[in-house]
Amino acid sequence: MVNYYKLLRDDNAISMLFNVGKFDLSQSTFNNFVQVLSLDCFDNPTTRYLDILRKNLGNNAGGLKNFDERTLIKMLSNYLLLHGDDKYVEVDYLIISEFLQNISSSLINQIEQENEDEIEHRHTLHIEQGTLTNLEALHTSSFIQGCISLLINENLDQRKIALIILSKLINLFPTLKNKVCMLISITPNCYSWFFRTIKQDAIFKHFTTTGQDYIEKEQFTNKSFWSVVYLFQETYSYWLIVSNDLESFADDKLTINQVVEFLEFSKTLCLTLIFNRTDSKLLKNISILLLNQLYLKNLRLKFLDQEFWSPKKLTFNIDPLIRIIAEEEEKDDDESENEEIINHKISFDSYSKVEVLKKLPFFIEFKDRVRIFQALIELDRSEIFNENNFFFMDDFQNKLIGKIRRFNLLQDAFEAFGKTGSKFKNRLQVEFYNEYGPEVGIDGGGITKEFLTSVVNEGFKPGDLFKETSENQLYPDAKIYEKLFLKIDADKQQENLQYLRFLGMIVGKCLYENVLINVSFAPFFLNKWCNENLKNSINDLNYLDSELFKNLIKLTQMSSKEIDQLDLNFSLSEKIDKQIYNFELIPNGHNQQVTSMNILNYIHQLSNFKLNQCLKIQSNYFLQGLFTIISKNWLKMFDANELQMLISGNEENNVNIMDWQNNVEYGGYLENDLTVQLFWNCVEEMSMDEKFKLIKFVTSVNRAPLLGFGALNPKFGIRNGGRDISRLPTASTCVNLLKLPDYQNKEILREKLLYAINTEAGFDLS
């Protein structure tokens, strides 16, 4: 029997073993070689050893499946060490594929910490640096391009080898994943090859022509087909991140028709993976991610009808979904134990529908999701009420009391409620003070609304906390991060972060109390609300800085010489308090020149700096406050556009007059009184813009409530304003009340009403 540990100290013994291997290709010799490969007995590339290993391992590579992952990793590392810079031939790719297909873990340095964003839901192995250095040969451009050449040729055996290698390399080193995807992405017509290969398979036809929303999982037995699908989705997902919308349907990528065809397949695939118990976690995760990416791209480019996302037959009963989500919210910290308990209580079908709601919410009607959202708030409110009753706390004890000076509104609000945490969900008792002292008023909900909208008006002004895009959409000021990074006025920036947290609580309270506010947030900021781990990309930069976006797009159209003449590097200069500071886009970025080969990475890194890195800490503080009031899981049901509607009301360019009339509370009037009838006649004759102005005049928001006027809180009210027809209509926005004089004349009523809403004369918060 060979003493393998002796080989560590005996080069002659190693040489003897390899000499035997020249002529003996038996299983026992193969076993000897793989045992030696697992030891630390090689220092340099050795072509003679490599040639012998190619013969032995190439003939017996199937036997590698009997070894554990750590041993396989060591063997592969030594094989690559012996290979050195020698040209990779077909047998090398075969041997490497056999190693890799038996390794499912991701590898990281022993001294590195796992990055949760990069290695989520994967098993990881900590490997010593020498082994990792050898394995990095698998991520060289020459090796990957060799794999790509094997992938797109007509030899099915070579294609299978390449699929195994490339699919495994995607996950082997999470930090190098993008390089693999990038090299595939820049291969001319590679995506067209992927699509043709996928489309010509019978499985694709079955998925796209079935009359069902999902099919049985037996379709996943064809491993070769699903390997192609997986690899395509990983690389296309990367392409969508680094490319811009203007090149979405470029000739050498996928045409718009091909994208739509693939989306038909993808919808069925994602629902099939959700509604069947499957071990294909990697395929499931990337399929859902890519479908969401294409959904968001469609929101920007609008190449699909909204009906495209409607399921064929699948229905969603709202009440069971609400119950399941509410139960999940009550889970303890022990996720696995509670998940098992919940799964016993509900059917797999119901649980799958909840997963659709969480991960692919656009399959469910927006208004149904709004109803779920509001029902969850009511359940939460009831739970708080029951808890308070359990501890014999009356309504007065539950209230949070705040004394607010109107001339110091934001600071007083922050001092009164900024540290209340989740108790901010309780009823508020706000007492306003003006220059003469306390204002008289009993809060029936109106003063709370006035307080919230007043804080919003003060806190969301463009200034030290928020900046505005050219479209008047708000986002956190990047200077907060930059000054913290540079340690400039750090105490003030920490205070700004606390105010951002409080303003997140305010927005959460508005959502909790169904109070609409007239604030528009930038889509790239709202993206963080529905997925705090989402990374904005180049396409979102257009919302932040359209000029910078256009200039970056121009870079992609320049020649290598033109790019070189710009003398760009991977750093950025920013002006702060009249001083110029440099920020690195990547480590040592000022020494990394921008070239035609790395221009896409430069654009990606610059966009990442502007949209993610510069806004991360501010967004995190804001979201901490928001999620104190509103569960982050509830907001994941919506995209950025839908969140804006939750905040500010219906975006649709119409108003349902019948719904409006049926949900009015009258004071001093009956609904058949002459002035009331004339009022509604005038409203029906108004332009859409005038109707929105009237709604804003009374409610402070220029949009109708999402679920109709019946959901407005307090109800839209019309009170008799007296018989003095010289007076204008006035409004108390804190209680959504229109004070309408008893004009009893249509022309006078129209003239006075239009004047009031166009000038906001008579706008009254009292």
Q: What total number of domains does the chain contain?
A: 5
Secondary element (H or E) of residue 400: strand 400-405
The stretch 7-23 carries a mean pLDDT of: 59
**Are 34 and 63 spatial neighbours (Cβ–Cβ below 8 Å)?**
yes
- pLDDT for 118 equals 46
Residue carrying the six token digits 């839901």: 121
- 45 Cβ contact list (under 8 Å, min separation 6): 81, 82, 83, 84, 85, 86
Residues 52 and 152 in one domain: yes
One-letter amino acid identity for 714?
A: P
Residues 632 and 554 in one domain: yes
- pLDDT for 17 equals 63
Among 390, 410, 445, where does a domain finish?
390
| Range in 3-7, 120-124, 142-146, 527-531 with the lowest mean pLDDT | 3-7
Residues 640 and 750 in one domain: no
Read off the DSSP letter of residue 613: I
The stretch 76-94 carries a mean pLDDT of: 91
Q: What is the CATH number of the domain that holds 739?
A: 3.30.2410.10
Residue carrying the six token digits 């069925």: 268
Residues 630 and 673 in one domain: no
The stretch 643-656 carries a mean pLDDT of: 86
CA distance 583 to 600: 19
- 602 Cβ contact list (under 8 Å, min separation 6): 555, 568, 570, 585, 594
The stretch 714-721 carries a mean pLDDT of: 94
| Range in 86-90, 277-281, 714-718 with the lowest mean pLDDT | 277-281
Token digits of residue 6: 């002796």
**Are 381 and 389 spatial neighbours (Cβ–Cβ below 8 Å)?**
no
| Model confidence at 29: pLDDT above 70 | no
Phi and psi angles of residue 728, each rounded to the nearest 5 degrees, phi first: -85, 155
Among 363, 390, 417, where does a domain finish?
390
Strand partners, 718: 666, 738
- pLDDT for 345 equals 56
Q: How far is CA 647 from CA 628, 659, 703, 706, in A?
A: 17, 21, 10, 10
- pLDDT for 654 equals 80
One-letter amino acid identity for 60?
A: N
Q: Is there a domain that residue 501 lies in?
A: no
Q: Is there a domain that residue 42 lies in?
A: yes
Containing structural domain, residue 181 = 4-185
Q: Is there a domain that residue 375 lies in?
A: yes
Token digits of residue 252: 């050498």
pLDDT interval class at 25 (50, 70, 90):
low
Residues 202 and 78 in one domain: no
Render pLDDT for 580-622 as a digit per residue (tens, 0 to 9).
Answer: 999 999 999 999 999 998 998 999 999 999 999 999 999 999 9
Q: Rounded mean pLDDT of the chain?
A: 87
pLDDT interval class at 343 (50, 70, 90):
low
Q: Is there a domain that residue 415 lies in?
A: no
Q: Is there a domain that residue 400 lies in?
A: no
Q: Is 734 marked active-site?
A: yes
Q: Is there a domain that residue 546 lies in?
A: yes
Residues 165 and 222 in one domain: no
Residues 170 and 51 in one domain: yes
| Model confidence at 7: pLDDT above 80 | no
pLDDT interval class at 389 (50, 70, 90):
low
pLDDT interval class at 223 (50, 70, 90):
confident
Secondary element (H or E) of residue 403: strand 400-405
Render pLDDT for 139-197 as a digit per residue (tens, 0 to 9).
Answer: 999 999 999 999 988 888 999 999 999 999 998 888 888 889 989 988 888 999 999 99
Q: Is there a domain that residue 402 lies in?
A: no
Render pLDDT for 273-291 as a digit per residue (tens, 0 to 9).
Answer: 999 987 788 999 999 999 9
Residues 147 and 62 in one domain: yes
DSSP string, 114-128: P-TTTSTT--EEEE-
Residues 32 and 128 in one domain: yes
The structure's pTM equals 0.85
Among 390, 416, 437, where does a domain finish?
390
Residues 229 and 86 in one domain: no
Secondary element (H or E) of residue 738: strand 737-740
Q: On the CB side of 498, how many CA atoms lie within 13 Å of its CA?
A: 15
Residues 304 and 324 in one domain: no
**Are 218 and 278 spatial neighbours (Cβ–Cβ below 8 Å)?**
no
One-letter amino acid identity for 97?
A: S
| Model confidence at 507: pLDDT above 80 | yes
**Are 425 and 629 spatial neighbours (Cβ–Cβ below 8 Å)?**
yes
- pLDDT for 30 equals 72
Q: Is there a domain that residue 507 lies in?
A: no
- Choose, from 181, 190, 510, 734, the residue flagged as catalytic: 734
| Model confidence at 9: pLDDT above 60 | no
- pLDDT for 65 equals 80
Residues 678 and 628 in one domain: no
One-letter amino acid identity for 447?
A: I
Look at 481 and 71; give whichever has higher pLDDT.
481
| Range in 121-135, 489-503, 555-569 with the lowest mean pLDDT | 121-135
